[in-house]
Chains A and B, each alone.
Chain A
Amino acid sequence: MNIQPVNFEFTRKRRLKSECDNPGVMHPNSKLRYSVQDCDLEKDTDNRGYNVNFSGSLPNESGAAAKTLMEKIMSSGVFQWLTGFSGAHNVAAAALIGLFLAGGLRPAITISLPGKKDLEDKIYAAGHSMASGLIGFGFSTLITTPIDSGVKFIYEDSKNISIENYNQLTKEELAEYIRKNNLNPEDIASKMKNDKLSEEYIISMLKDSEGKNLKSNEMAAFVKDNNGVIMPIRKLYKEVIKKDKDGKEIVVKKYQGLNFIAEHVDKIHELQHQLHLETDMVKKGKLLGEIRNLENWVKGAETTMKNVSEWAIAIPRAMLTIALIPPILKYVFHVEKKKTAAPEPKQVEVTAAATVTPEEKEVQPMKLSMNKFMGGAK
């Protein structure tokens, strides 16, 4: 009869004998890899049959938990949602964090601070803080979220012509496209010059993939995508004749999306094409620098459009916060300011929090505005 020992593992501090026989080797059950040091340490200190360091919790697990705490937070559904939200709506995400901090955490701490004397003031301060958090979040979200969505669509639209590996098609490639899309090859072939296609010629006569005629402002260009598949893309501009400062007529590209982005994207294509043909190292370097600069510029445009609304709403939001704090205090938090005999000065609110007692208001009305100031920027 072969009876093997029963190793009942109460804590992960207690290692299996087999684990320490082969330190550094993954144990099939524990999924842990013990180092030589771990096992040596255990030999030296843990030979009593119990572990003096064991405090009731599972030491090794809590060590691992500390290591993976961030991972646990990051993999939680709330955090995943928050990252997605802050990626799509920067301003609303900042307001959401403000709601949590100014609308929840700050009032809780304000109330819980020691000192019974000024409890009423603390309630007011907490109420103000919560109100500012709520209004900040509500107003920012209401205004900026639809703008963000609009920006997303219009930005993508403007970038639509931005497809990498922008190549002019060869005669054969175009012929293939024409065959696939039942287009008229003769018309196009007759326009070809020196085997290189002029984009304008193709654009002027091609149809879209469904065979419908393109509108003048939906002119098509051809690109090869990353898998080498030829595809038509929409070119979003039409040429408009305008007069310059000197009264001369000039041709201006009018894009469908955001003009300034589409212009940069168009320029990037042009430079990429030049780069492809360029052999001189120095000129190549300059072209690369220009392309990178323009790419960052285009990227910066999205961030700008998404965040600039923060500036636009800053003042109305602050004014609304000031205006709505008293009714919110009254109807939501059921607290109301006691009427004082002294005329109340026009108050300057910065965030929330009045920290003056009604007695102080009577005695020193001027001092009120100083005490009202709670600092911060919002």
Chain B
Amino acid sequence: MNVSPIVNTNLNKNAYTTPRQNNAQQPAFTGVSQMYDSFGHGVGKHFCRHIFDNALVDKMAYIIRNSDNAVKHFLAVGSVITSGMYMKQTLTNKNMDKDRRQTLAVNQLFTLILSTVGAYTLDGKLKSWWGKQHEKFIKLSDNGKAAWEGMEAKNKEIKASNEAINEDITSKVKSGELKPDLQINDDKELAKLAKKFIKNDKDGTFAKKLAELNISVDDKKDVKGLINKVNKAISNNSGNVKDKIKQMVQAEDYVRKLVEPKLNIDQYLEKYGKNHVFADLDKLKIRSKGFGALRSILVFGFVYRFFVPLVVVKPTNWLCEKYLEYKKAKQAEKV
């Protein structure tokens, strides 16, 4: 007789299963969605086209073009508009005396500034953590996993190609084959350009080049320290190091123009998503975009609609009252 061990495996049933996928068939509301689509088309054609097709929207698009998450700026400006209206109403309210009007308006302004600074700070603090969650979120589905892997592979390709460009350009500038396009007239300009490249040295390639000239810092994150060292090296100019830095900066200028920046998942799906056979690519794209935007939406909503009204407003109102009482007492003293 052979009795096998009895192992109770039911306890683990839920804990280690893969995340639930939305495999349920979506009901096809063809008629409704068709109607909605044609409604959207109509709004686009007869309303949006006339409203948005202008130089102002174009200019705004230009301003936010390099922002990683522009939604937050719109939320912040929207809040400034709303609060501005309330402030105007306060200042023109005839039922209040002048002192009270002004104090209340200042209170509103103070609260707005505090909320906005707080929202931006919290949003910035969450950025890195949210980025990690974004990866997890995308990888929840097989499509997403494939897309993420595709993005990583593409970024590796980009990195390799950037390194090749970097080496090629640097050697060509050194050998004199490539004549410098960048005009550097004095030490100040050189230091300024070096500072710019150090600050935006995401891959650390410029720092590596500087290390070849014995200009380096122990901590890679010590950007200020490295900038100071470069400035010192330029002013001391021992062993013609200034010329070498100048050559390096000129080569870096070429490199920066030619290298391709790394792609994030949204950019990858937009550019290369259709190269893969991703089912529901549009859904993946919109959800990925939405996840990115959701950070700012949650943070700004939390600060503006919850935290500040609940926690900050009462103390500031109290402070205003105290200030007005103090002012009245002083006026009474004068009289």
Contact = CB atoms under 8 A, between A and B. Distances in A.
B313 to A, nearest CB: 4
Contacts of B63: 300
Contact of A61 (B11, B80, B314): B11
Contact of B289 (A3, A87, A154, A351): A87
Contacts of B300: 94
Majority secondary structure, B binding face: helix
A366 B62 CA distance: 46
A191 interface: no
B297 A97 contact: yes
B70 interface: yes
A258 B5 CA distance: 71
Contacts of B64: 300, 303-304
Contact of B96 (A296, A314, A366): A366
Interface string B48-61: 11001111011011
Contact of B5 (A7, A77, A352, A377): A7
B301 A83 contact: no
A1 B3 CA distance: 9
Given A98-B301, A305-B57, A308-B74, A16 B7 contact: yes
A82 B137 CA distance: 13
Given A75-B140, A293-B65, A151 B82 contact: no
B164 to A, nearest CB: 13
Nearest to B76: A377
B326 interface: no
A84 B82 contact: no
A371 B90 CA distance: 13
B19 A90 contact: no
Contact of A101 (B19, B60, B305): B305
A289 interface: yes
B294 A82 contact: yes
A296 B44 contact: no
Interface string A60-90: 0100110010111011110010111111101
Interface string A280-311: 01101110110011001111110111011011
Given A30-B9, A87-B293, A101 B306 contact: yes
Chain A interface residue bracket vs B: 35 or more
A315 B88 CA distance: 12
A257 interface: yes
Contacts of A8: 6-8
A68 B275 CA distance: 31
A2 B5 CA distance: 11
B53 A83 contact: no
A370 B58 CA distance: 41
Given A98-B305, A288-B257, A366-B95, A93 B293 contact: yes
B312 interface: yes
Contacts of B1: 1-3
A86 B293 contact: yes
Contacts of A151: 44, 48, 52
Contact of B57 (A9, A292, A301, A352): A301
B309 to A, nearest CB: 5
Interface stretch (B145-153, B194-202, B221-229, B315-323): B315-323
Interface string A318-354: 1100000000000000000000000001101111110
Contact of A74 (B11, B133, B172, B258): B133
A351 B309 contact: yes
A154 B15 contact: no
Interface string B79-106: 1111101100110011111001001100
B287 interface: yes
Interface residues of B, number: 118
Interface stretch (A103-111, A180-188, A195-203, A229-237): A103-111
A147 B95 contact: no
Contacts of A88: 286, 290
Nearest to B289: A87
A52 interface: no
Interface stretch (B33-41, B184-192, B208-216, B231-239): B33-41
Given A94-B297, A311-B77, A303 B71 contact: yes
Contact of A94 (B2, B39, B75, B289): B75
B283 interface: yes
A264 to B, nearest CB: 8
A192 to B, nearest CB: 31
Given A83-B137, A94-B75, A376 B290 contact: no
A273 interface: no
A304 B89 CA distance: 28
B170 interface: no
A375 B309 contact: yes
A336 B133 CA distance: 46
B22 interface: yes
Interface in B115-162: 115-116, 133, 136-137, 140
A226 B254 CA distance: 29
Nearest to B3: A3
A141 interface: no
B183 interface: no
B78 interface: yes
A259 B293 CA distance: 27
Contact of A65 (B15, B304, B314): B15
A373 B36 CA distance: 41
Contacts of B100: 366, 369-370
Contact of B40 (A152, A281, A377): A152
A305 B52 contact: yes
Instruction: In the A-B complex, list the 5 residue pairs whose CB atoms are closest, starting with the nearest.
Output: A87-B290, A377-B79, A285-B257, A149-B40, A150-B43
Given A288-B258, A346-B93, A355-B314, 13 more contacts: A61-B12, A71-B140, A82-B290, A86-B293, A87-B291, A87-B293, A146-B40, A154-B49, A259-B53, A282-B181, A285-B258, A369-B96, A377-B83
13 contacts: A2-B3, A6-B6, A16-B7, A30-B9, A61-B15, A64-B16, A87-B287, A98-B305, A260-B54, A285-B257, A304-B70, A373-B317, A377-B304
